[in-house]
Structure 1
């Protein structure tokens, strides 16, 4: 099979007049999208981008996002989506780490570009979508000026297609290299299960910097369908988009499913076209699931579990297991069954020996969806990914006798808040920079709105207030990473080797609550 850019060419030849993407009041056919991708490829090439190079983008979901994704691939380069919720210095770190030669910025993020323009070490060309004035290179004018020609480069399916950044336990983001083959494997494994048909309309409601948004954006082209891009994950805009375009398939995080039934503008919309509601990326309660199912009685629900490093979903809890009152209601606490091309095993974290069904251990997976590796980090890659392609997820859980996966805890202490991954070490590093903080630990505690939220436990001196500690973090980190509450302690509990006893700190907050990742 050709690479993903080749798949686009095939779809454009087969159905040139079919609408590929809709974004707000804009829409573009497969013929025009393919031509636009060619122009992007030519413009990037003229800017010095070639095979193996990186092209960064900081924007909310847009047609430009999609065309840059495929345009970079057409000349053997890879797109680097940047989380638009990050602080300017965090954005600069990612763009520099990726050694991006081109950096494209959406209109809302010009202040970020201004703040970091002098800090970009490898970027020779910047462009702004709908810029506020002539001081900035107009992205559209730049692409329109490129010759209407076809790139002769033929990407290998083993080439990196996109490089998504996922923070590591060290606190520094890691570039996850995902290839054409990774996405082709992911999409071929899920299509039959998702019930994708020629008439399906996919909505990309999750940010395209998120692996779920990325996979669905590519799925549109892979399947030759029409995709509806929502600028950002706003519940009312999502509902109105479903009604207007008769959307059949969508992926949402539980926090959106929690609020949608409570918003009159949402419940007033006709959502009957939805055939499949995919959800995942953070825990969901039974009450939230029941409310969502009542709001969408005609839709099937499917829970998925995965990671950026495995190109999205590797397990699925099928629609038939979504019966809260049925004999298999206990399966709603599981992450489902592995994809047809995915093998899971549970091992002792210390010995890496496989453990029997029902016993908790570290979850490993072997799948053609496993990443190529971490950009510029061979040691981290070797630690996470074995020579025979077993990936260490960092999550702890067990498999039952029927092969269903249950997530028990997180080996890496990661916090998932509203579908966003937060690594305590990154927040702790910032807190330790405060002159009045002598020691600290960050844990996830229950939160009705976000599933869980960061809590800072500090050993503090002086007259510093809780709010001042929170504000200190907000000046240096994206807000979703910052503690929402602070607890004072005389000391932080540690084991004899100095490791913080996170489980001991979390235990009082999670008594009687299910801290499982669904």
Structure 2
């Protein structure tokens, strides 16, 4: 057995070691390619990661500490991530779309003494100075130039012992419902993620096109397995339909990760079917609700398998839907992944059976260490089973069918209680989606004197649509307690950087001009 094969077969290892061995076995293979054509081989990428690790050690950054990074995807960003891991330093990737105060708060929360950024982020965060030494990944004047900060060419870091519980990264929650919480993921958790990929083609030199950002867990669950499998990652700074299709065709892409809104935009593009995507082996989706209709269209028109993941950045349980193998289950998010224990509980924390709606809780080998510095929030997110096992509470509501497939209803906080009845917005959104004038829709609960709460739909429509006609269309098809009180038109639904609909913003929009 080769050294690399033995490493992959082990119960635990590090991505930094895997990358080094890949560089020895296939030094000239491309590791990371930017949409602009800039690229690095495995040998170059490995050497760059070493220079990062050596520079961190030179600056006194200790194993277990964190560095923060807030920038668009780039080769320096990727090298920083791998180099920090090699030095035993956790990475705290921050979304550039965060507010200036939130960026400063997250850098302070993770205790980073070094903050890596680019010019765009520096411009955005000027009103709230970050309490850390700034290094410009793009070489701009917003900090020390990354190339100058790096250790000299040929530098190698001192060896560091990295255990399974050692922090790998700190990913901050979106903050759409309050102050972002730092989710600490371990090296052991990431190792478990990587080699699940063998069953879906990552082990055979994949070419993965990633248009979602490197600061998102959505991207990382594809990025690291691709490199561990000796493949090539093609990175886009921002998603654009035509550019995506051009890159997929040119690079003969085999794997990709997209969020549902990106799949929808691709399917809607009039030239989609003209591009040669025959090299595609597997497509992935996560992060937001993925309609059965859209899954079906992707399967019909785009070669290769389609896999949907349902889970949380915090870890716990994950469900996997191999959509190409179960075309009759497209309305679900699949079954629990091997070794994952997913259960449903009621309001009193008691388990419920198949067919009964409950909050989804999960347990697996892939669980966060906890929220950084927030033991109270970690405890709130934990459910203890009757046999004394710890599960992560997802805050999502769903039910299992008789075949063990999970149907996702809604976020628990988004459930509407109207006149004592539970209303699931997803039920109403599914009906709205069948109206020919509806492009996309989201339903939220708003205050009602008569019912406590009542559902209101926000709709992006095509043509000369009539909101009252759409409301009547839906109300004719749902139960009396589910009827929409109002339909409001919007140009587009507000979304996070990974495509999640920001329902809090919709509620705030309604509160500014409530129905009279």
In 1, Cα distance between equivalents of 2:325 and 2:247: 28
Q: Secondary structure at the match of 1:309?
A: coil
In 1, Cα distance between equivalents of 2:252 and 2:515: 57
Q: Name the structure 2 match of 1:408.
A: 409
- Between 1:223-232 and 1:1-10, the stretch displaced more is 1-10
With the length of structure 2 as denominator, give the TM-score of the two structures.
0.76
In 1, Cα distance between equivalents of 2:236 and 2:177: 33
Which of 331, 334, 337 matches 2:332?
334
Q: Name the structure 1 match of 2:24.
A: 13
In 1, Cα distance between equivalents of 2:456 and 2:244: 29
In 2, Cα distance between equivalents of 1:341 and 1:175: 26
- Indicate how the Cα distance of structure 1 residues 101 and 146 shifts in structure 2: closer, same or farther if over 3 A, else same: farther
- Structure 1: unaligned runs, 5 residues or longer: 324-328, 429-440, 450-465, 467-477, 492-518
In 2, Cα distance between equivalents of 1:295 and 1:75: 44
Cα distance, 1:265 vs structure 2? 5.5
Alignment of 1:308 onto 2:329: no
Q: Name the structure 2 match of 1:347.
A: 345
- CA contact 1:88–1:115 (8 Å) conserved in 2: yes
- CA contact 2:173–2:183 (8 Å) conserved in 1: yes
In 1, Cα distance between equivalents of 2:108 and 2:53: 22
- Partner deviation per Cα, 1:26-69 (whole Å, 9 max, x = no partner): 21121221111110011122233111111111111111221111
Cα distance, 1:448 vs structure 2? 4.9
- CA contact 2:100–2:124 (8 Å) conserved in 1: yes
Alignment of 1:374 onto 2:371: yes
- CA contact 1:200–1:225 (8 Å) conserved in 2: yes
Q: Name the structure 2 match of 1:30.
A: 42
Q: Secondary structure at the match of 2:414?
A: coil
Q: Name the structure 1 match of 2:136.
A: 128
- The within-5 A match list for 1:226-241 is 226-241=232-247
- Indicate how the Cα distance of structure 1 residues 321 and 199 shifts in structure 2: closer, same or farther if over 3 A, else same: same
Q: Name the structure 1 match of 2:147.
A: 140
In 2, Cα distance between equivalents of 1:482 and 1:149: 48
Q: Name the structure 2 match of 1:359.
A: 356
- Indicate how the Cα distance of structure 1 residues 302 and 17 shifts in structure 2: closer, same or farther if over 3 A, else same: same
Higher relative contact order (CA 8 A, sep 6+): 1
- Indicate how the Cα distance of structure 1 residues 280 and 80 shifts in structure 2: closer, same or farther if over 3 A, else same: same
- Indicate how the Cα distance of structure 1 residues 10 and 444 shifts in structure 2: closer, same or farther if over 3 A, else same: farther
- The within-5 A match list for 1:84-483 is 84-117=96-129, 120-121=130-131, 123=132, 125-133=133-141, 136-143=143-150, 145=152, 148-167=155-174, 171-192=178-199, 194-264=200-270, 266-296=272-302, 298-310=303-315, 314-323=318-327, 329=328, 331-350=329-348, 352-385=349-382, 386=384, 388-413=389-414, 445-448=457-460, 482-483=505-506
Cα distance, 1:305 vs structure 2? 0.8
- Indicate how the Cα distance of structure 1 residues 167 and 253 shifts in structure 2: closer, same or farther if over 3 A, else same: closer
In 1, Cα distance between equivalents of 2:314 and 2:501: 24
Alignment of 1:69 onto 2:81: yes
Which of 483, 486, 490 matches 2:510?
486
Q: Name the structure 1 match of 2:419.
A: none
Cα distance, 1:205 vs structure 2? 2.0
With the length of structure 1 as denominator, give the TM-score of the two structures.
0.76
In 1, Cα distance between equivalents of 2:92 and 2:70: 9
Q: Secondary structure at the match of 2:314?
A: helix
Q: Name the structure 1 match of 2:480.
A: none
- Partner deviation per Cα, 1:370-392 (whole Å, 9 max, x = no partner): 11110000111122235733111
Q: Secondary structure at the match of 2:49?
A: helix
In 2, Cα distance between equivalents of 1:40 and 1:197: 27
- Indicate how the Cα distance of structure 1 residues 3 and 216 shifts in structure 2: closer, same or farther if over 3 A, else same: same
Cα distance, 1:95 vs structure 2? 1.1
- Partner deviation per Cα, 1:80-114 (whole Å, 9 max, x = no partner): 11112112112111111111111111232230243
Q: Name the structure 2 match of 1:515.
A: none
In 2, Cα distance between equivalents of 1:444 and 1:218: 41
